[in-house]
């Protein structure tokens, strides 16, 4: 079976998809941006996910990066492409989901592409075309207040239509529940390029995956991967890097991450990034945090975070945005900590994960055990040839005790 190629619009989304593919029998790795894993590594894979940092990039940049990734996958032998975006369809009326899908579908000559955001294991479902988050309509969920992509509508087709010149249709749950052949016939009968397909549980995703098994382009959150054909690869060959000190780096301000910070800091040392220092004197802030972290007990898990509660949110300092400054500081801290002997890092937040992985010079993530839905450990080699274990998590994912329980999967 030819290798499946995938393009994810952020780093946590890439590992999220890789987890699902591995669970479904794929030997899978994640390539960071334009890194080539090499022919020997690629030859041993059933799927390769390219991780981009394009979700909130300017549209032209996102499309260009996606096109380049697609060309690399084609050159490496991929004949089918999976476009991965967030299960909450994070985007605006300008993009970037629609323009990216248009570019990939045009290049592949795809007449039809399914649009399947749901990830039921994390409470993301689509019923009658409406996207729900933990039982709430998307527009009533915390995503309504997302600082970059506020989601104020719930019908996925209405979210996608402003972003593309192509027609968008829907396939509802009654068709999905009629089985693979009925769904495939319904998809083939539509004149629309894009079809939003309902799914409220993993069994629905299995039907959808079977119905689109031969499609040259599919799109969705990570859940759709559960339904794709199982290549029966040997996914058991993963070894954790040598043990070392641990740390958690949190740039996310999501409600879930704030609960995780609160839970962990009841028993572990915690330190907040100073938003004013992050903007005005970032190098000194990296020095302060790094010095604090290495002074903590060797068996502890220092938790370094930007936001513990809503009162900590500081959008701007001196007219400059705080979020990218915090990401830069946390990336610098990650470099320092790895040099000082930290070998296991858990990073919370998609933008922060991208900044940390880039700062460490990681080119490939070798996907390992699942910690929680959408979160896994991965082995990686830094630019300085240090072997580390990384867990990259979307801000909204994971149980409250994640920052203290995640390490059990490495035992």
Asked if 262 and 215 sit in the same domain, the reply is no
Residue 1 has a pLDDT of 64
The CA angle 123-127-133, to the nearest 5 degrees, is 25
Asked if 264 and 346 sit in the same domain, the reply is yes
Going from the C-alpha of 81 to that of each of 114, 209, 311, the distances in angstroms are: 12, 13, 43
Closest CA to 264 of 246, 278, 244, 288: 246
Q: Could you tell me which residues come within 8 angstroms of residue 43 by beta carbon, excluding any fewer than 6 positions away?
A: none
Q: Record the tokens describing residue 186, joined without a space.
A: 């319904």
Closest CA to 87 of 162, 145, 12: 12
Residue 107 has a pLDDT of 98
Asked if 137 and 64 sit in the same domain, the reply is yes
**Long-range contacts of 63-67, Cβ-Cβ distance < 8 Å, separation of 24 or more:** 63/95, 63/96, 63/99, 63/100, 63/103, 65/33, 66/7, 66/100, 66/103, 66/104, 67/103, 67/104, 67/107
Whether 208 is in a domain gets the answer yes
Over range 180-195, report the average pLDDT: 97
Q: How confident is the model at residue 10 (pLDDT cuts 50, 70, 90)?
A: very high
Over range 110-128, report the average pLDDT: 96
CATH of the domain at 365: 3.40.980.20
Asked if 312 and 367 sit in the same domain, the reply is yes
Q: Residue 118: pLDDT above 80?
A: yes
Can you name the residues that pair with 249 across neighbouring β-strands?
Answer: 304, 347
Q: Residue 89: pLDDT above 80?
A: yes
Strands 130-133 and 136-137: antiparallel
pLDDT in tens, 255-314: 899 999 999 999 999 999 999 999 999 999 999 999 999 999 999 999 999 999 888 889
Q: Record the tokens describing residue 367, joined without a space.
A: 């996907």
SS3 367: strand
pLDDT in tens, 356-383: 999 999 999 999 999 998 899 999 999 9
Domain count, the chain: 2
Range of the domain at 375: 245-410
């Amino acid at each position: 079976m030819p290798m499946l190629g995938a393009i994810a619009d952020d780093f946590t989304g890439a590992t999220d998809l890789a987890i699902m593919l591995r669970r479904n029998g794929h030997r899978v790795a994640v390539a960071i941006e334009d890194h080539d894993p090499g022919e020997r590594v690629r030859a041993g894979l059933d799927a390769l996910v390219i991780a981009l940092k394009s979700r909130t990039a300017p549209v032209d940049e996102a499309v260009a990066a996606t096109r380049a990734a697609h060309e690399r996958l084609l050159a490496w032998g991929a004949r089918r492409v999976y476009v991965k975006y967030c299960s909450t369809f994070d985007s605006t009326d300008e993009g970037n989901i629609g323009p990216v899908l248009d570019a990939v579908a045009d290049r592949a000559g795809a007449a039809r592409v399914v649009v399947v955001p749901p990830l039921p294991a994390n409470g993301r479902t689509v019923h009658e075309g409406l996207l729900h988050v933990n039982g709430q309509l998307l527009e009533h969920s915390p995503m309504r207040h997302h600082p970059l992509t506020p989601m104020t509508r719930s019908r996925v087709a209405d979210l996608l239509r402003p972003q593309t010149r192509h027609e968008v249709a829907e396939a509802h749950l009654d068709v999905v529940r009629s089985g693979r052949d009925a769904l495939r016939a319904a998809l083939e009968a539509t004149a629309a390029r894009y079809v939003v397909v309902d799914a409220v549980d993993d069994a629905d995703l299995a039907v959808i995956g079977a119905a689109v098994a031969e499609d040259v382009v599919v799109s969705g959150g990570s859940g759709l991967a559960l339904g794709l054909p199982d290549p029966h690869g040997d996914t058991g060959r993963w070894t954790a890097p040598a043990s070392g000190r641990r740390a958690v780096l949190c740039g996310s301000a999501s409600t879930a991450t704030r609960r995780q910070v609160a839970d962990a800091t009841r028993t572990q040392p915690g330190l907040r990034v100073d938003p004013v220092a992050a903007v005005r004197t970032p190098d000194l802030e990296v020095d302060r945090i790094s010095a604090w972290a290495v002074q903590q007990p060797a068996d502890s898990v220092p938790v370094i975070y930007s936001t513990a509660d809503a009162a900590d949110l500081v959008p701007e300092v001196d007219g400059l945005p705080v979020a990218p400054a915090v990401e830069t500081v946390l990336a610098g801290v990650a470099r320092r900590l790895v040099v000082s002997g930290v070998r296991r890092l858990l990073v919370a937040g998609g933008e922060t994960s991208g900044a940390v992985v880039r700062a460490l010079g990681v080119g490939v993530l070798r996907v390992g055990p699942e910690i929680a839905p959408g979160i896994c450990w991965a082995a990686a080699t830094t630019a300085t040839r240090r072997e580390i274990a990384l867990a990259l998590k979307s801000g909204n994912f994971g149980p409250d005790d994640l920052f203290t329980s995640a390490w059990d999967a490495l035992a």
